[in-house]
Chain A
Amino acid sequence: MFSRDRWQEIFETIRKNKLRTFLSGFTVALGIFIFVMLFGLGNGLKNSFAEFFMDESTNALFLYPGKTTKAYKGFKKDRRIEFDNSDLADIKLNFPFYLEDITPRISRSAQVKYKNESDNYSTRGVSPAHRETENTVMMSGRFLNHRDLKEQSKVVVIGRLVAQDLFKNENPLGKFLDIGSVMFRVVGVFQDSGGDREERIIYLPYTTRQRIEKNNDKLDQIIVTFPPRVGHVGSLAFEKKLRLFLKKKKSIDPTDSGGIFINNAADNFKRNQQFANVLQIIVTFVGLGTLIAGIIGISNIMVFVVKERTKELGIRKALGATPRSVIQLILQESIFITLISGYAGMILGIILLKNIGVTLEDFFIKNPYIDNITAFWATFILVVFGAIAGYIPAKRAARIKPIIALRDE
């Protein structure tokens, strides 16, 4: 295998048959290159997907009130259910085992002005616990605190893009914003990996929102989080108990499918995860397809190469080449070529992936990459199959009697 003479023989053959070498090398390099690119881009797509759908906390239940669909205890059907402040306290009181934190959410859209700049933004009246449920990250200043809640302070925390749109280069901290004709002081700026929409939100204490709206105690939505020890199964039990509790409290028929809606983020997470898995399967499938196409390509080339060399092999055999040495000659050459060109294609693909990464973000492809192990195995598989593809015709060629090989003239 490592005889210097055979290597010399092989290098000579490669040097003097440039087209053939180029063709087989190119096929392999292209196969690996396309595999690396597709696999990397697929990973990029997965990254964007994860970024879009996976930024919310997964250990949270989102509670929405709705209309009842059944009459119950003297109430008519189609009654609109509402949450209020007492629900927050009751949930806190009754579910100490499951509950980690709780926050209401009152969503209003409002005209927001600062100096000459103005635009429409959505505002959310929340409590400090909201920060964990959305994985909100503070860039400067602070998030809402319990004192803000208690004192019904007119303070807001604004998204990065709100600050960018309204304040331009000014530091927004301590400045006053006109939100629906009420002045609020900016105490913090946050960023959120959930995308632009999430960074155009303004948070204020829900108590402040309630005071502005004639001092009511209504809540749009309640978000509860549970500690990780509860797990997915525990969260389902929590969800069930919570629903029953609220239905009882609001006098809703326990069999009514309306009235209270609970959205389990863990379910969402699971669904998104499944979607991501499907994406992964597609990426893998495309990758495998490319690899198989590459293998077929190299097989074709090898059959062609051996066919083209039939006469030469016949001459070699007439001069004393054993079948074994014929097979070794062809195999060693093909493995050498596929190894070098496969490696080249792989490196080229990886380099290109690294460099196009940024430019593709508009097409929902973020940080396309392929891990070295996958790239290595793909190259390895292609080389092995290239060798097998070369071995079969080589073996047949080695078995052909020299007179038959020499006959075609």
Chain B
Amino acid sequence: MIKINDLHKSYKMGNSSLHVLKGIDFEVAEGELVAIMGSSGSGKSTLLNIIGMLDIANSGVYELDEVPIKDLDETKAAQYRNKFLGFVFQSFNLINYKSALENVALPLYYQGIKRKERQQKSLDYLEKVGLKDWATHLPNELSGGQKQRVAIARALASQPKVLLADEPTGALDTTTSYEVMDLIQKINEEGKTILVVTHEHDIAKMCKRIVTLKDGVIVQDKKVNQELASKYV
């Protein structure tokens, strides 16, 4: 599903440049649930941003579902993001003046889907994350766990190839974190490819594969026995 070869990324800081990714080789097959770990500054978020087309690599090859991702202008990147990717952020990034339902419907709006169909689909996804009854509520009327579940519903609504989660449990307490991970595991069980960036070992252990980054290179890539989050909930 994802194919990355010799990926480099550096940021210019005045005269010097900061080499963040120093040749990443990385593949993800369909249906995988991968944790990307590393201390802060290891380049894990940069890698995720490049995979998410929110950022552009300096060199290297990146293919997503056999589509080479290169020479992206903003418009094309936006279309690819809309078509291929779903994002879940640490700080939820819901639009605060829109209800849960409208937030979930937003990527569908950018896909050009009609309003009625949009709302029906959004409601389905809210039901899937267990928040159908909260559809008309604004984000500030929801708890952190609920917000993240709305965000997950939103990420799923556009039926992306890959779900990218950047520290999805970073702003949540332990119990809620496990609830969210339980949801992510269930979505993965349905066949969705998911990448989770985290620095928490217990969260990483709930994935099927752990990739560890250090100073811009992959130092470890191992399959693990998935720990089910449901037993903590």
Contact = CB atoms under 8 A, between A and B. Distances in A.
Contact of A323 (B78, B94, B97): B78
A400 B102 CA distance: 24
A322 B53 CA distance: 13
Which residue, B78, B81, B107, has most C-beta atoms of chain A within 10 A?
B78
B83 interface: yes
Contacts, number: 70
Contacts of B95: 312, 315-316
Interface string B97-119: 11000100011011100110000
B91 interface: yes
Contacts of B109: 5, 9
B49 A320 contact: no
Given A319-B82, A323-B74, A16 B49 contact: no
A358 interface: no
Contacts of B83: 320
B98 A16 contact: yes
A403 B154 contact: no
Interface in A306-327: 311-312, 314-325
B54 A322 contact: no
B130 to A, nearest CB: 22
A5 B74 CA distance: 23
A38 interface: no
A12 B102 contact: yes
Nearest to A16: B97
Nearest to A326: B78
Contacts of B54: 318, 401-403, 406
B91 A409 contact: yes
B154 A322 contact: no
- Of B49, B91, B93, most buried by chain A (CB within 10 Å of CB) is B93
Nearest to B84: A320
A351 B58 CA distance: 63
Nearest to B102: A12
Contact of B78 (A17, A321, A409): A321
A355 interface: no
Nearest to B157: A319
B55 A403 contact: yes
Given A12-B102, A16-B97, A403-B55, A317 B78 contact: yes
B233 to A, nearest CB: 28
B62 interface: no
Contacts of A406: 54, 89, 93
B158 interface: yes
B87 interface: yes
A274 interface: no
6 cross-chain pairs, A with B, having the tightest CB-CB distances, nearest first: A320-B82, A320-B110, A16-B97, A319-B107, A322-B78, A403-B54
Given A314-B93, A320-B82, A402-B54, 4 more contacts: A318-B93, A320-B107, A323-B78, A398-B74
21 contacts: A5-B114, A12-B102, A312-B95, A316-B110, A317-B78, A317-B81, A318-B52, A318-B54, A320-B78, A320-B82, A320-B111, A321-B110, A322-B75, A322-B78, A322-B110, A323-B78, A324-B75, A399-B74, A401-B54, A406-B93, A409-B91
Interface of A: 5, 8-9, 12-13, 16-17, 311-312, 314-325, 398-399, 401-403, 406, 409
